[in-house]
Structure 1
Amino acid sequence: MRNSRRNAPSVNAGSMADIAFLLLIFFLVTTTISAEKGILRKLPDKCANPPCDVPFNERNVFRIFINFENKIMAEDEIIELEELKDLVIAFIDNNGENVCGYCNGEQQPNLSDKPSEAIISLKHDALTNYGMYIAVQDEISDAYYDLRVAYAKKTFDKIPDELSKEELKAVKEAYPFILSEVNVKRN
């Protein structure tokens, strides 16, 4: 019986920890981590000199609401996502006061006075799909981008990539991106 204890089979587990560690490193290195889709925005600076409320004309606010069913309502009308960009462009570029020399709008009485006063107000339900929210944000951004590209071509005869810093600043001042996001109330 003494011999059976001495010759008992055993497993050399000294390198098991090394193998497990190498496998862990291999899977960490080869696994891809998907990046979340987000919104690139530069938020305005905090108001330094109160009062921070700016008076505005009601006609200069374009209201967009996304409900819990992901339906879009713009100015109290249900619309499709594909319609939103054209509505935003028409609102911003309206030239209601007839003081904007570069605007191409139809001077409708219910749309904005001029691009520097046009405010897009976006509100959504707490149950709105994040993908729909991003799609609406993209449509609004595309509208501003198209207006800025047209202005750059008309004024400087250049595409945005060819603009100098001063020209780019002038384009952004002509069509400032003014978006007001309303806080979502959750029950």
Structure 2
Amino acid sequence: MLIKRRKHIVPELNTTSTADISFMLLTFFLVTTSMDVDRGLVRQLPPLDNDKEQTIDATEVSRENTMDFKLTDSGTLLLNDKPIATKNLRLKIADFIRRRPTQHVIYVNPDPAASYNAYFQLEDEIMAAYNSVRNEMAQRHYHRPYAALNEKQRNHVRDLCPQHISETYNTTVATPASDSQKPQPPSATTANNKEGGKR
């Protein structure tokens, strides 16, 4: 008597759409993944000291035309030596610039131990205030937003509302002085922002 053995059929795995699925997953992760973007600040460094005589246009600015920001090591923001909250800070700076578009200076004095997040937050608020005022001027003169202007029109708006930001960087740490020693002023480097290059 012959016994027939059953043949076991192994099912095949269809891999035709594997490439399509992989491509779709790759596209999904590329679209949904957030990537860190380097942020830069436009600053113009002071001129180098040399033996040649340099001509610098100096303009006296009254105290009422200045805003003096100080950032402490604990992250506290001071405006003219008084604590100020970051809420509505952009509107306050924009109103200050709007009332004196060409005759103003904004001083920024961060402590060396201050956090970068607090420093960038202050810088972002200042730049947003400038952009707001310039956008208003662009609408008034050209009936278009500042971003839609050509280069010549943007230069005109920049002349009407230039950026006057002076930053001071303290590079020394205060040490206790004896009675016979007078405290020395901290060394500082000032960067005036006049649409210069990136630092």
TM-score band by shorter chain is 0.5 to 0.7
Write out aligned runs for 1:33-182 (5 A): 35=36, 37-43=38-44, 46=47, 50-52=54-56, 54-59=58-63, 60-94=65-99, 114-182=100-168
Q: Normalising to structure 2: TM-score of the pair?
A: 0.61
**Sequence identity of aligned pairs in percent?**
20
Higher relative contact order, chain-length normalized (CA < 8 Å, sep 6+): 2
Cα drift, residue 36 of structure 1: 6.5
Distance 1:120 1:82 in 2: 18
Distance 1:72 1:167 in 2: 35
Residue correspondences, number: 136
Give unpaired runs (5+ residues) of structure 2: 1-32, 174-199
Aligned-residue Cα RMSD (Å) equals 2.4
Give unpaired runs (5+ residues) of structure 1: 1-31, 95-113
SS at match of 2:166: strand
Distance 2:159 2:141 in 1: 13
Instruction: Give the counterpart letter for 1:166 in structure 2.
Output: K
Q: Assess, with a 3 A threshold, how the Cα gap between structure 1 residues 173 and 53 changes in structure 2: closer, same or farther.
A: closer
Contact map agreement 1:38 1:134 (CA 8 A) in 2? no
Instruction: Give the counterpart letter for 2:83 in structure 1.
Output: I
Q: Assess, with a 3 A threshold, how the Cα gap between structure 1 residues 170 and 46 changes in structure 2: closer, same or farther.
A: same
